[in-house]
Amino acid sequence: NEDDFDIFALHKKIGDDQLLVSVCANVFLQYNFISSLGVSIPKLIQYFRALQSHYKTSNPYHCGMHAADVLQTTNVYLCCGDVKENFSDVELIAVLFSAMVHDIAHPGISNAFLTAVNHPLAKLFNDTSVLESMHTSLAFILLERADCNFFSSSTTWQKYHADDFRSLVIQVVTGTDMKHHSAMIKSVEDILDDGQIDDDEVAQLFKAIVHAADLSNSMKDLPVYINWMERVNAEFWQQGDEERRRGMTISMMCDRNNTFISKSQCGFIEFVVLPYMQKLAPVLPPVWLSRLEDNLKFMKELTTDQENTIKRRIKRPASKPWADDSTHPFS
Ligand code: CMP
């Protein structure tokens, strides 16, 4: 739960195969719910392995490393000011589970693209939070596997726990759809303004926390932020290339020939990240907000040389064309 954790350094040390499994095990094993809910550790580890194998390693951004980062960041928020003391063990396992599965089998392309091309996933989920619905479905389908169902041999896990767990996970993972972002700013304000978390606010707060973890890269140390920012742009550019190939309108920030890193990052931080994180300040490590402002300043002052160097680095991982090998949850 360190607030200056460097996921890229850990990745370098242990590699793709072990990264998500290792971060998940480290976070989950810190919690009481393993014993209070009778969680089977071998099956939990098997679930982590299955999860890791469903994250697409070829995505520069939406890969297992992003899931590990969002889980670790969610844990930092929960530990900040001991927020986690407000929640039951079922609630805590639900929010951590949501964080780690929230982008499982992400195809590296957006909801808007999937809907525009009438992709099978868009047909299945009626153009509604297509990716987030797929992530949630697949996470539960994996949990049904005998070797991965870490609740199946528990003597304390009850039907009402399972119902609460499922309901929370569905709300939190579907809440990571960016279309809810503006509503989330307002709801965070309502939840945190009276200094206490009522029972009916738990799901809203968990949605807000995992969404914040999903948007947290620009609050990290500058080299870590730059690495994530290059990866997200590399993935945007792959989508843009595919849109160009298909004669579609190229989505915002996806045109490799017409992206200004400084301008797009300043816009993203000033209009999306900062207004949200300012409202969430009570559950953030204080240094993260000041770092966000420092990173914004860095992006504002980016020189043409620095901009060009970043663009050259982004081009490298984006050299492979996008391939539609998305996982259909029911196949
Ligand atoms: P997604 O993971 O679906 O939800 C959060 C979105 O924030 C993510 O997709 C990206 O589209 C966007 N995002 C995250 N980090 C950055 C960044 N540094 N610059 C621009 N967009 C970002």
- pLDDT band, residue 1 (cuts 50/70/90): low
Check pocket membership of 217 for ligand 1, CB cut-off 6 A. yes
CA 182 to centroid of ligand 1, rounded, Å = 15
Residue 206, C-beta contacts closer than 8 angstroms, at least 6 positions apart: 91, 94, 95, 98, 168, 171, 172
For ligand 1, atom 2: residue with the closest CA: 214
The residues carrying an active-site annotation are 62
228 CA: nearest ligand 1 atom: 18
Task: Decide: pTM greater than 0.85.
Answer: yes
- Pair of tokens at residue 5: 């954790």
From first CA to last CA, the distance across the chain in angstroms is: 36
Highest mean pLDDT among 90-104, 184-198, 316-330: 90-104
pLDDT value at residue 315: 84
Residue 3 has pLDDT above 90, yes or no: no
CB 191 within 8 A of CB 201: yes
Residue 316 has pLDDT above 80, yes or no: no
Residues in the chain: 331
**Structure confidence by residue, pLDDT tens digits, 38-86:** 999 999 999 999 999 999 999 999 999 999 999 999 999 999 878 899 8
For ligand 1, atom 7: residue with the closest CA: 215
What does DSSP assign to residue 60?
S
The mean pLDDT of the chain is 94
- Pair of tokens at residue 149: 């169902």
How far lies 55's CA from each of 21, 193, 258, 296, in Å? Answer: 12, 37, 29, 30
**Structure confidence by residue, pLDDT tens digits, 137-162:** 999 999 999 999 999 999 999 999 99
Q: Shortest CA distance to 180 belongs to which of 114, 235, 128, 238?
A: 128
Average pLDDT of the residues in 253-269: 96
- DSSP per-residue codes, 249-314: PPPTT--TTS--HHHHHHHIIIIIIHHHHHHTGGGS-HHHHHHHHHHHHHHHT--HHHHHHHHHHH
215 CA: nearest ligand 1 atom: 14
**Structure confidence by residue, pLDDT tens digits, 210-246:** 999 999 999 999 999 999 999 999 999 999 999 999 9
For ligand 1, atom 18: residue with the closest CA: 229
